[in-house]
Amino acid sequence: GQNIDQPTEMTATEGAIVQINCTYQTSGFNGLFWYQQHAGEAPTFLSYNVLDGLEEKGRFSSFLSRSKGYSYLLLKELQMKDSASYLCAVMDSNYQLIWGAGTKLIIKP
Amino acid sequence: EAGVAQSPRYKIIEKRQSVAFWCNPISGHATLYWYQQILGQGPKLLIQFQNNGVVDDSQLPKDRFSAERLKGVDSTLKIQPAKLEDSAVYLCASSRTSTSYEQYFGPGTRLTVT
């Protein structure tokens, strides 16, 4: 079967760094995505990794290891507006997204 | 560029009633997706259209759910009759093609079945 695992909830302090991990087992692999979803809103695209390594985009970075079936999203200089759920999703061999349940990130002052 | 439009934003119905949701994707996007997102879970794909044809509806409960995209542009998703467990947010997303890596989501319709 196909499976995406990520922690249910994490708490971090404003200004700090947090790493959200994601492990996956899927039928084929055409890339891994991270989406941000604020409460009551639609998911918005953050990052896409298809090759191993680190992709940096401003305060957010995403890492992929295909051999380990592992990714993480790194958020630096946390701001209160970063409080949201972060969804990990893998595009399988049929180009369909398999979604994790999301990690709720709580930022404290 | 206008985003994905959905209506209504909120709907409350009683079980066994019917409901319909509407989605207008980004202009020029050939692929349209309907997802169901239950509180605390990730989105679950219900149906995927490529133009006006169905690519995948393997997770659509066909005894009560139906969807169409007759002209290959906007789409409707219907539930008839609704059950309590259908309470969720219904998200519509679109992408340029079925192999495009980025999907653009609409604001969603929050359905409550009482």
Residue-wise pLDDT for B53-83, tens only, equals 999 999 999 999 999 998 889 999 999 999 9
Task: Report pLDDT digits (tens) over A49-73.
Answer: 999 999 999 999 999 999 999 999 9
Whether residue B50 lies within 8 A of chain A, CB to CB, comes out as no
Whether residue B42 lies within 8 A of chain A, CB to CB, comes out as yes
Whether residue B40 lies within 8 A of chain A, CB to CB, comes out as yes
Question: Across the interface, do A91 and B103 touch by the CB < 8 Å criterion?
Answer: no
pLDDT of residue A105: 98
The closest of B17, B2, B13, B27 to B107, measured between CA atoms, is B2
SS3 A69: coil
Token match 């066994």: residue? B16
Task: Report pLDDT digits (tens) over B28-43.
Answer: 999 999 999 999 899 9
Task: Report pLDDT digits (tens) over B88-107.
Answer: 999 999 999 877 778 999 99
Whether residue A94 lies within 8 A of chain B, CB to CB, comes out as yes
Tokens of A51: 């090759």
Residues 6+ apart with CB under 8 A from A28: A92, A93, A94
pLDDT of residue B72: 85
pLDDT of residue B1: 65
Nearest CA in chain B to A104: B40
Task: Report pLDDT digits (tens) over B15-24.
Answer: 999 999 999 9
Q: Which residue in A5, A47, A96, A104 has the most chain B C-beta atoms within 10 A of its own C-beta, making it the best mutation to test that interface? A: A96
Mean pLDDT, chain A, rounded, equals 95
pLDDT of residue B97: 82
pLDDT of residue B71: 87
